Amino acid sequence: ARDLLARMPIWPSIGNHERTRASGDEREEESHYFSLFELPGNERWYRIDYQYLTLLVLDSNSQMGSDSEQYAWLQEQLRSERERFTMAAFHHAPFTSGPHGRRHEDGTPREWPVDQGQRFLAPLFEMYGVDLVLNGHDHLYERSYKDGVYWVVTGGGGAPLYKIDSAENPYQQTAKSVYHYSTLDVDKEAIRLTAVDLEGEIIDWVKIPVAEKTLERKRFFVREKVMKGVQVGAYSPETGGVSCAVVNVLELPLQVTVEVQGEKGGVLEEEPFLLGSGEERELALDLSPLLGGDARPTWQQREIALVKFALQGEGGDFGGVVEVEHEVSLSEPAYGVARMERVEIDGNLSEWGGVESMAMDGSLEVVLKPEGFAGGGDMKAVVRLGWSPGKLHLAVEVEDDAVVDDGVSAVWDSDSVELYFDGRPEEERGDRYGEWTSQNIIPVLRKAEGKFVGEQGWSADEVEWKTRASEGGYVLEMSIPFALITGKEQLRAGDRLRFDAMINDRDRGEKDGSHHRLWSRGDAWRDPSEFGILMLEE
């Protein structure tokens, strides 16, 4: 065997006899196993990608439960991109008709590695599409099949053979207590497993084709690669266009078509083009024909164009056509924040009469849980903002048929106002909260102690604020230091902030009602990308 072993790779899995110390002895030195082999990773469990096969070698002497290090590693490997076939190998067989498969009266395995294999490994293998599992421990040959996974015990290498008790394994397809060896032939189409006894007779043969789950997984990762090769920049008001780049990351040519759909029905189409493997094409799309006049107030104007790419090819694991869509913002809602010389925070909004209002009545804003909204008679609101040196001022006036706060429910499930701010420079903004972004939920009927509830909420005593409830609704008046929003003590005319507001309207039933936001359609408490613009005016 010396010549054979000298030219063939060996990927071993540690068994239960590779030790010289008694079971439970935690000292180092487990025979010569780790000195004989130089293996990847921590050497107990590791991964090999070889041609069409991903091999996951595990250590069934170590913990395999869902809270173990080995389980976390295995789950990470199964979630990642793999070759066409996935095979796992470890010593203790979860499904066996040998003596190590014996069970208690309640049906659970007597040996803990067998039990952990059934309870933790088997569900993972079934979920993520492992094709074949090789085990030993029982001195026999056995093939089982359960929920898309083939399990093979190939333990007939020379030690005394074990008797077979088929009643212990309901998933058994064939079993023989004979000395044998097993070979695997792996190509693009299938794994072919052959078990041969000492006389050279084939005792078992099975063909394992590429599973549909595997093909779906391969297509998913190929599509992910293709999608990452498409980049779309931001709209430029100066040029009226947007820059794009398409890179073909596959080893086959792709036919690319590009279409742009405007919100108002306009459609622009580019000439289709062929992109060879590894090639890149840069595009400059003129979107100005999609823009039209808009008579709405600027705070209501948001226009989106949808840039759609279709990349088509044939061959490999490619699924035919990948469609990639990018939203491009052509215009964003902007509210002019009026300069106000003096604002007294007392809940009396008489000094706000000449300030432009943003109305919420169910027709203009984003309504979340619309099934809980009964129209303008249920709730209407007006939001106004102003500024003076060092401070941003806000007034919210709400007409509500029932102002409700049971004192027990979360503040967002009661009548309240949510204020969202993003004070970062435009070039530093993103779709996640960071420094100078905050969500603050202002209660109407309860006292706020400490910080306002919300993502990165402010301390309630850092701002001046007043709520005043009446039978027909409530008002909120607030002054906020610019330093809380942007980190700067002073702002000036022409400066911009990002902002959104939501009215939480709790009706009299348990957690019924609706939520009304000025602009953001998504999760504004973690994604500030749809906040509107506040522009400070003279």
Q: Cα separation of 410 and 412, whole Å? A: 5
Q: Which of 210, 226, 253 is the last residue of a domain?
A: 210
What is the distance of C-alpha 493 from the center of its chain? 40
Q: Cα separation of 472 and 378, whole Å? A: 10
Q: Cα separation of 226 and 322, whole Å? A: 7
First-to-final CA distance of the chain? 89
Q: Which of 263, 298, 331 is the last residue of a domain?
A: 331
Rounded to an integer, the average pLDDT of 299-307 is 86
Rounded to an integer, the average pLDDT of 449-478 is 92
Q: Which of 195, 210, 225 is the last residue of a domain?
A: 210
Q: 431, 422, 445: which is closest to 534 by C-alpha?
A: 422
Query: Which residues, listed in sequence order, are joined to residue 275 by a DSSP beta bridge?
Result: 254
Task: Convert the pLDDT of each residue in 26-61 to its tens digit.
Answer: 555 556 788 788 889 889 999 999 999 999 999 999
Q: 143, 182, 137: which is closest to 162 by C-alpha?
A: 137
Same domain for 425 and 299: no
Same domain for 123 and 195: yes
Same domain for 226 and 196: no
In degrees, rounded to 5, the angle at the alpha carbon of residue 227 between the alpha carbons of residues 224 and 229 is 115
Same domain for 454 and 373: yes
Q: Which two tokens stand for residue 341?
A: 């010389």
Q: Which two tokens stand for residue 244?
A: 């794009």
Same domain for 388 and 259: no
Rounded to an integer, the average pLDDT of 384-406 is 93
Strands (E), 162-240: 172-176, 180-186, 190-197, 202-209, 230-232
Same domain for 72 and 33: yes
Domain of 411, CATH number, reads: 2.60.40.1190
Same domain for 95 and 125: yes
pLDDT score of 291 more than 80: no
Do β-strands 53-57 and 85-89 pair in parallel, antiparallel, or remain unpaired? parallel
Residue type, 477: E
Same domain for 311 and 345: no
Q: 10 Å Cβ neighbour count for 516?
A: 24
Residue 471: predicted pLDDT: 84
CA distances from 8 to 3, 11, 12, 71 (A): 9, 10, 12, 29
Same domain for 140 and 266: no
Position 215 confidence tier, pLDDT thresholds 50, 70, 90: confident
Within 8 A by CB and 6+ apart from 529, the residues are 429, 430, 431, 522
**What phi and psi, each to the nearest 5 degrees, are found at residue 73?**
-65, -45
Q: 10 Å Cβ neighbour count for 207?
A: 10
Q: 96, 95, 97: which is closest to 165 by C-alpha?
A: 97
Domain of 194, CATH number, reads: 3.60.21.10
Within 8 A by CB and 6+ apart from 515, the residues are 367, 368, 369, 502, 503, 504, 505
Q: How many domains would you assign to the chain?
A: 3
Same domain for 364 and 509: yes
Same domain for 200 and 226: no
**Using an 8 Å Cβ cutoff, are 138 and 100 in contact?**
yes
Instruction: Domain of residue 14: give its range.
Output: 2-210
Residue 510: predicted pLDDT: 57
Do β-strands 303-312 and 254-262 pair in parallel, antiparallel, or remain unpaired? antiparallel
Rama region for 511: left / alpha / beta (φ>0; ψ in -120 to 50; rest):
left
Same domain for 479 and 406: yes
Q: Which two tokens stand for residue 190?
A: 């299938």
The residue written with tokens 């925070």 in the block is: 345
> To the nearest whole number, what is the mean pLDDT of the chain?
90
Q: 10 Å Cβ neighbour count for 159?
A: 11
Task: Convert the pLDDT of each residue in 110-138 to its tens digit.
Answer: 999 999 999 999 999 999 999 999 999 99
Residue type, 41: G
pLDDT score of 77 more than 90: yes
Q: 10 Å Cβ neighbour count for 266?
A: 14
Residue 355: predicted pLDDT: 94
